[in-house]
Every structure is written in C-alpha cells, then in structure tokens.
Structure 1
Amino acid sequence: FVVGSVVLYFTSLLLPNREMVKEPVEEYFVEAKIESSSSLVGKTVEEAGLRNLMDLFLVEIVRGDRLIAPVSHSRVLQAGDKLLFSGNVKKIQVLNQFPGLTLFAQKTGLHTQELTEVVIKQDSTLVGHTLKNTGFRAKFDAAVVAIRRENDQVSGRLGEVSLRAGDILLLSTGEDFASRSNLRKNFFILSGVTPDNMISGWREKLVVFGFIAMIVASVITGKSLFDLSLFLFAALLFTGCISVNEVKRQFPMGIWVIVVSALCLANAMQFVGLDAQVAQFAASTLVGHGPIWILLGVMVMTIGITELLTNNAAAALMFPIAYSLAHGMGIDPFPIIVAVCFGASCSFISPFGYQTNLMVYNTGIYRLQDFAKVGSLITLAFVLVCAIMIPFIYPF
C-alpha cells in the first residue's frame, strides 16, 4: 500500500490534464421524431424554436436514408424527420413542449420522468449490436432515452448505433426492470435503480442468529458448512427473507462455471499425466535458477491473464500450473500460490481489466495509453514488492 501510493503519486504527474469542455459531442445523444400531426411540419428550424434551446443542440436530422448535418437555421422540417440532439440530458423534458415531437423511449410506452443511468460492461451481450436488433425493451423492460460515449461522437439513428463497452445509457425503465436477473451481466448501474428490499423484525433476527447457529453447529457436530448453509438457505427462502428472483440476480453463475471448469481441467491434467510433464519440463528448463524466478514467472503470467479475463478466472486457471511448477522444482507450493492470488488482483494496465477501471476510464476522460503508461509502472512496483515480501513472509 505504501509503495503503491508513492508510485501512484509520481505516475499521476504523467497523466494529461484534460479539462471537461462542454461540447455537444461529449454529452448525451438524444433522438426525437416529428409525427405527421405535429405543428412543426413545414416550419424551418428557427421558426420551430429548435435553434435556441437551453443546453440542447440540434446536431443532425435523419430523413429517410439521408443524414443532414450540420443543420442550418433555414432547414424546413418534415413529417417523419428524426431530430438528433446533444447536450445536457437534464433538459430533455423541454422537448415535450413541442407538440408532435416524440422521444425514442416514448415510442415504447415508457415515461421519462424517472431515468436510470447505466454503463455497458465489456462482456455484455449488447456490445457490437444495435438497440434495434437486441430486443432491448423485452429483455430489460427499459427503453434508451439517450446515449453518451466519451471522447467520441455518436451519429445516426439511436436505434441503429452500434453499442460499445463503456457506453453510458440513460434508460426509461418499467416496473419489472429492477427484478431482471440479466442486469448485472450487462450493466454497471450508476444511479436510479430501486434498492433491494431491506428485511426487518423477526426475519432480521432469523438471518443473524441462523448464521451464528450454522457456525456453532458445524463446530459441535462436525458437519460441513456447505451442508449446514443449505439448511439455512432453505429456511430463509421458506420464510420469505429472500426471494427466488434475488437468488437468480445474486448467484455468481459465471464464477461457478469458471472454477468448476478449472477444477475439471486440473483433474484432466492429473489423469493424463500432463501435470507431471509440466513439472518435469520445469525441473529441466529452470535448472540452475532459483525459486524466485518461478514466482516471478507465474505472477507475470497471471497478470497477463487477469488483464483479459476476470481475477477469479486468472486465479482458477493458473493454480494447477503454479502447483505443478512448485512440485517440479521440489519447493513449497504455498508462496507460488500466494503469487497467483496477488497476480490475479493486479489489474492496472487495461481499463477493461476490472469494473472500477472502466468507471474511472469514462469519468476521467482517459485513453488506453493513459492506463497503459501509468498502470505499467504501478504493476512493476507491485511485482517487485511481491517478489520481495512473499518469500520473506512465506519462505520456500
């Protein structure tokens, strides 16, 4: 912590000082359609009063397959035109004062009085697809009011914009939105979602004392915590302390699949003798080198994996390899396994390595090279400290 804080202080001086400039392309991208019954039809942009809106700027007009940009004050509006605005989304309600001007989300029957802000995850099923072909409303019980993409301009119809990881969506949500089990798989929720229900009264006491009773029963009877936790889970489910929907939303299915797959891979390696071959290869290749080089090699490999996958996946995949290498060299495997754990948590080089990185990447107006430049130096310090401290605390 101390070394990392010092290194971060000096490396932060390498970051560019980008001021938050209020430009339309850096703000939310909103679409509104002119209905055939609108009084705006036949008027110019200036006559319709769309030129001098507060904190909203008319960027483009989509007319059929034609994109009109920039939009002049004398451009005549037609029925079916899609008007694309950019600016402060808090002022979006001002568009409702124009009769016959319908927002993109309002076409789905949802209102825009209460909005929810979300960030698209890197592994979301939405990445690379458009709102039009994803069935967004049916999948999430929500409609997109606006899109914001840092350091890049969104153009064209809102429903035909190819979504990217890190895009910030402003959603108009339905009553079933908060209970959907696929939210955490696709989004980071920034604001506006109704929090989970808090339990109270006798149910609260049941949870607390049930957890304590589970631990005491394990100590007294010798039963495994897993078996006893199943009984507690059944009791909480039966008494209404938790619901099936909450279990579906919270259950870490991805982690379970990764860990189980890694364990199966480890068993397969042992069954076919691959772990013994890895150990033999390590013993013959690394002869003459000290255990510290094994620790460094394993840690660097784990860091490379965790930048591409999750920390859980990196640890699960590298564990059998680290264990085999340690046994091949005839050293205590525990320090090497500790190096895997630390390496799996060392995710500083890429903004997509961890969810907090992605949040900072958007709000700080950073670029990939900023993360790579600063993160590489912090990772180097991290590895050096681990290489010194792990053998000191857990000798080979």
Structure 2
Amino acid sequence: MQYLVLATIFILIGFLARSSIRPLYLFGGTLAFFYFTGLIGTESLLQNFVNEGLVTLVLLLLISTVLENTIFIRQNSSALFSKNRYRFSLLKVSSVTSFFSAFLNNTAMVAIMMSVIRRQKGIVSSKFLLPLSYAAILGGTVTLIGTSTNLIVNSFVIGEGMPPLGMFDFAPIGIVLVLGGLVYMLLFSKKLLPEIKTDESEDQRSFFIEAKINTESSLIGKSVKENGFRNMRELFLAEIVRNDRLISPVTPSEIIEEGDILVFAGNIHDIEELKSFDGLSIFEEKSRVLGSNLVEAIVSHKSILIGQKIKEAGFRSKFNAAVVAVRRGSKPLRGKIGLIRIEAGDQMILSVGQDFKNRDNLENNFYLISNINQNRFLSVRDSIIAITLFVSAILVSALGFVSLFKSMLMVMMVYIALKWTRLRQLRHHLPFELIVVIGSALGIAEVLISSGAAAILVDFITMLFHDMGNYGYLVAIYLLTLILTEMVTNNAAAALMFPIAYTTAQSHGIDTMPFIMAVAYGASASFITPYSYQTNLMVYSAGRYRFSDYVRYGVPMSIVYSTIVLIMLPIVFPM
C-alpha cells in the first residue's frame, strides 16, 4: 500500500508540472482515490476542510478585499517616483510593496502597484514590474499572514496537533530576506532587466486588435492607402487574413476585399479610431460601445480558459465580455484572433457588459488590472477605521489574547455590519478552489504519513545526505521544496513537502520547527519562471518580458534568498 500511495503522489506531481488540468481536480481526485480505497476515513476527510488554519486563510483573503478599497496607496502613489533617480524610485516602490505585502493579499498589492507604475510618465515599466513581483514575494515571508503559503503550512501544523505558528515567527528571517532582496535589486536591476518601453502609450503598441470588413462596406475595392489605413494616428495595419491566407506585410497598394480580417497593432486607448471607418466591425464587438467599457485582464494560472481557442471559450456566456485585443509577453501573435489558444499570463482587453463585475468566476480566471470600476473605494474616515481594526486584530492575536481565527472573524463581522462589504460580494470572492486544494492536501498529507509512504522517502533522503548530518537533511528538504515550487506552484509545493519534512524531523528525533519553516520559505522561493507564482505571471505580459528575463534576473535572486535562509534557519530555529 505504501508504494501505491507513492506512485499516486508522483503521478500527481507529474500532472501538476506538465498538465493543464486545474489543481482543484488533481488534488480533489487524489483525495477521492485515497478515500475510496480506504486509506482515509470519512471523519478525517471532512475534518480537514474545517481546519482552523484553512478557515483563517479564507477569512484573511475575504478581509483583504475590503482593505484593497482603502485609498491611501492610490492617493500617494506619485510620491514613490523621483525623476531621473531610478534606484531611489525602485527602493521606495519595493519597500512599500514589501511592507504592505506582509499584511495584505500580495496579488491585490501587485495589481494596485502595476497600475501606479504604468501611469507614470518617463519611466521604463520593465525596470520596475519584475522587482515589484519579487518585493511582494519577499514581503510575504515576514508574517504568518503575508502569503497563503505560510497559512497553508500553519494549517498542516494545526492538523498535526501542534500549537499554531505565531504571527511574527517568520519575521527574523523574513526581514533579512527583504533587506537582502532589496540590496540585490538595487544593485542589479538596472543591468539585468530589459529596457523595453518608456511610457504607457508606447506600452500599448503591441496589442493585437482584429476588425472585419462587412458586406456593404465602402472600403471594399479600394487600396489600403486610399482607405486611409496608412494615416492612422496610433494604430498600424500589420496583417490581413483573407480566406485563411495571411497577407503580411501589408503593402499600401493592397486592395481590400469583402470579408477581410484586418489585424492592427497599436494603442488600445485609440481603438475608437477604427469606428470612423465605414463597414468595419471590431472582433465580436457587435453593438458594444468601445472605449467606455474596456477592462484590462491577465489570464490566471488557474483559469479554465487555458488551452481553449478564443472563439470557442465562450467569453460572452461566461463573463458577458468579448476579447478585442490580446498580447503575450514579448511574443508576436499572428493570424486570426479567434484561433489563438489561450495561455496563462495572456494580457487581454475585454469589452464588457453591465453585469461583468457580478460574475462569480472572474477571480478564478483573471487578474483584473485597470479600469475596474467594480470596487467602491472607502472614504478617508472609513479607510482609517478599517485599517485600525485590522492592525488591532493582528496585535491582539500576536500578544496571545485571542487566536488569529477569532480576531479575524470579529473584524469580518464588523466590516459586514458597517456595510463595507456584503454577503453577495463575499460569495464572489470566496476562494473555492483554494479551499478544495488545501483541504484535499491536508488529507493527502495524512495518508502519506499514516501509510508509511513518507517514511520511505525519508529513508531515501537519509541515505543521500547521511554524511552531512541533521543540517544536510534540512538543506535537502529546503532544496526539494524550492525545486518543486518552480515546477508546480508554491501552495502545491508546500502541501506535498510538509508531510515529508515533518516525518524526516520526527524519524531523526529533531525539532520539527526548522523543517516546517524550511518548507514555508522554500515554497515562497518562486523567482525563476513566470508560472510558479501568480504575481510573476501578472507582470509577464505587462512588462513585455521573455522567459529568459526571469531566469537571468531570478536565478541570482534565488541564490541570495536561499543563502540567507540556509544560514539563518539553524540559528533562529535550532535543531
């Protein structure tokens, strides 16, 4: 039975690393398999989904949706940038992001700061966006609530009957990680990051916009030059798709025919210019009024749309929206927009309907970046009260007066009572997939330990690192977690490595705390690929980065990060 469990876990890891199947189904399916084979009982299975750590994580994520609507960051954003002083501006942006990411949802923090960065004139966005993501990751390592990874690890700790982790147990190492990361970024960002765009207008030029020549258009039979397509202010006619044949480049003498698909590259904010041409309809636009209802969105790594063609994905029925433009990092997209297969990280401009903001599936499929008028910002007074309540709850919990769960529950109840959020909004934001993944992972961890499968892996680690002693085992756990987090996701890595780390410590009679923290820090070390962490994915297309940019800039950061962790772990958490 041990080897059956191990085989199932390796298959799970393989699918997580290489498959487009959502973790929701992979973790849920694995737990169901263990349940039906009798490896976990009904009571234990259900208990994992009401784990105190898991419920606390859900409460914090819901509370963060209220805190995101406070106005202080947006109002004071311009003060973060100093003209012609790149490193000073980077220091301020990264420091602010790290600080707030220690207490707030770092995905929301990065979305806010992305909009701030891209509104600034005279700066190179690509020099700020990847450091922004890294600063959010580093800030999340400072506190228990800084990242979902820490809270997931805490869920496992509680599940094993241990006292929950403290709010600032992570701080001694986390603060040094932030300082070390900031020093690295200040020294090497200017040299290692690409210099791609200079302002927001130029940043929009690579959007891929498609329009069709209608049957009775007056454009038919005239050349590109005669129709004025060569005199457009912010848009450029890059390609024509005619009967599945691609015409590129397009010459000024090319005659426009009925049914032609015209592919433009340009500034999405000037898409209204296309409406001045008779008989030219924007892709799937129909009767929508463009310009006033455009939303910029990035496809989430957990989106159900991944792998589907745009025209088959059902944007209208699922989201009451239509795709009018798309781009993918620095890669040129060619051909008909409807035939493009969606990938995680694709940046889209959506023309949305009135109830777009009320759709339940937005958060699982997109990171919404700009023109998101669905949130009502709190007033200055309400913002102060909301933040004060949250900070007070954290302090009360840190001082041991009440548990983090109770303090966050009280804050949530006050927010609802003051009508800063509503039950309908909370339902929209409820992280159902995360609940299923973590609840399932807790059950899988229980099976790994109880079946003896984890002990087999521990024996293998012991054989390889025996000569290095207890510290060697700690290094092995950390490095395995780090490698796994780059292959899958940070939460999946933490979930899979915790039972192995816990069993390793117990089998050698070592304090479990350094091994638990090695998993937490290792799972947060997501620097080398755009797909290993959601904030890396969010800045991928916005910064026009290539995969190689993450490797060139992320590998040294990972080395700095890992060196600090491996030096400080046995000092802060003695074995």
TM-score, normalising length: structure 1: 0.85
Which residue identity does 2:478 align to in structure 1? M
Q: Does 1:267 align with 2:463?
A: no
Aligned-residue RMSD, C-alpha = 3.6
How far apart, CA to CA, are the structure 2 residues paired with 1:208 and 1:88? 38
Q: Does 1:140 align with 2:319?
A: yes
Which residue identity does 1:175 align to in structure 2? Q
Task: Describe the superposition over 1:200-221 as per-residue Cα deviations: whole angstroms up to 9, x where unpaired.
Answer: 8xx9999899999999xx9xxx
2:568 is aligned, of 385, 389, 396, to: 389
How far apart, CA to CA, are the structure 1 residues paired with 2:255 and 2:456? 75
Superposition pairs of residues 150-229 of structure 1, within 5 angstroms: 150-197=329-376
Q: Which residue of structure 1 lines up, in the alignment, with residue 220 of structure 2?
A: 41
Which residue identity does 2:248 align to in structure 1? A
Task: Point out which structure has higher relative CO (alpha carbons under 8 A, 6+ apart).
Answer: 2
Q: Is the Cα contact below 8 Å between 1:279 and 1:329 reproduced in 2?
A: no
Q: Secondary structure at the match of 2:296?
A: strand
How far apart, CA to CA, are the structure 2 residues paired with 1:360 and 1:209? 31
Moved more, 13-22 or 203-212: 203-212
1:281 Cα shift?
5.3
Could you tell me which runs of 5 or more consecutive residues in structure 1 were left unpaired when the two chains were aligned. none
Which residue identity does 1:260 align to in structure 2? G
How far apart, CA to CA, are the structure 2 residues paired with 1:144 and 1:388? 49
Q: Which residue of structure 1 lines up, in the alignment, with residue 262 of structure 2?
A: 83
Q: Is the Cα contact below 8 Å between 1:306 and 1:344 reproduced in 2?
A: yes
How far apart, CA to CA, are the structure 2 residues paired with 1:163 and 1:170? 13
Q: Secondary structure at the match of 1:346?
A: coil
Q: Which residue of structure 2 lines up, in the alignment, with residue 326 of structure 1?
A: 505
Moved more, 91-100 or 307-316: 307-316
1:4 is aligned, of 181, 205, 211, to: 181
Superposition pairs of residues 23-172 of structure 1, within 5 angstroms: 27-107=206-286, 109=288, 111-172=290-351
Q: Does 1:366 align with 2:570?
A: no
Moved more, 299-308 or 228-237: 228-237
How far apart, CA to CA, are the structure 2 residues paired with 1:45 and 1:281? 68
Q: Does 1:291 align with 2:291?
A: no
How far apart, CA to CA, are the structure 1 residues paired with 2:469 and 2:181? 26
Q: Is the Cα contact below 8 Å between 1:118 and 1:168 reproduced in 2?
A: yes
Q: Is the Cα contact below 8 Å between 2:449 and 2:499 reproduced in 1?
A: no
**Residues 213 and 394 of structure 1, relative CA distance in 2, 3 Å threshold:** closer
Structure number having the greater helix percentage: 2
Which residue identity does 2:183 align to in structure 1? V
Which residue identity does 1:369 align to in structure 2? S
Point out the structure with max Rg over C-alpha. 1
How far apart, CA to CA, are the structure 2 residues paired with 1:105 and 1:5? 45
**Residues 388 and 239 of structure 1, relative CA distance in 2, 3 Å threshold:** closer
Q: Which residue of structure 1 lines up, in the alignment, with residue 94 of structure 2?
A: none
TM-score, normalising length: structure 2: 0.60
Percent identical: 38
Q: Is the Cα contact below 8 Å between 1:31 and 1:158 reproduced in 2?
A: yes
Q: Which residue of structure 2 lines up, in the alignment, with residue 15 of structure 1?
A: 192
How far apart, CA to CA, are the structure 1 residues paired with 2:496 and 2:228? 60
Which residue identity does 2:574 align to in structure 1? P
Q: Is the Cα contact below 8 Å between 1:211 and 1:232 reproduced in 2?
A: yes
Superposition pairs of residues 307-346 of structure 1, within 5 angstroms: 307-346=486-525
Task: Describe the superposition over 1:174-221 as per-residue Cα deviations: whole angstroms up to 9, x where unpaired.
Answer: 111112222121212110111423578xx9999899999999xx9xxx
| Aligned residue pairs, count | 393
Task: Describe the superposition over 1:58-110 as per-residue Cα deviations: whole angstroms up to 9, x where unpaired.
Answer: 12222222222222222222222221111222221111111211111422645
